[in-house]
Amino acid sequence: MTNIKLDRYDQVSITLLLIIIVVSLLDMLSGRLRQWVLEGKK
């Protein structure tokens, strides 16, 4: 890995991975918030 310069495909794949990770984290957090709200309403 002597070539540090990223190709466009590498940048796109990295950004897609970051987007997927962020979306999954937000989904998990919203699910926990929903459970917390539902438990609080009981």
Q: Using H for helix, E for strand and C for coil, what is the string for 1-42?
A: CCCCCCCHHHHHHHHHHHHHHHHHHHHHHHHHHHHHHHHHHC
CA distance 32 to 39: 10
Q: What is the pTM of this model?
A: 0.61
Q: How many CA atoms lie within 13 A of 26 on its CB side?
A: 6
pLDDT given at position 7: 82
| Per-residue pLDDT tens digits for 1-42 | 566 676 888 889 999 999 999 999 999 999 999 999 999 876
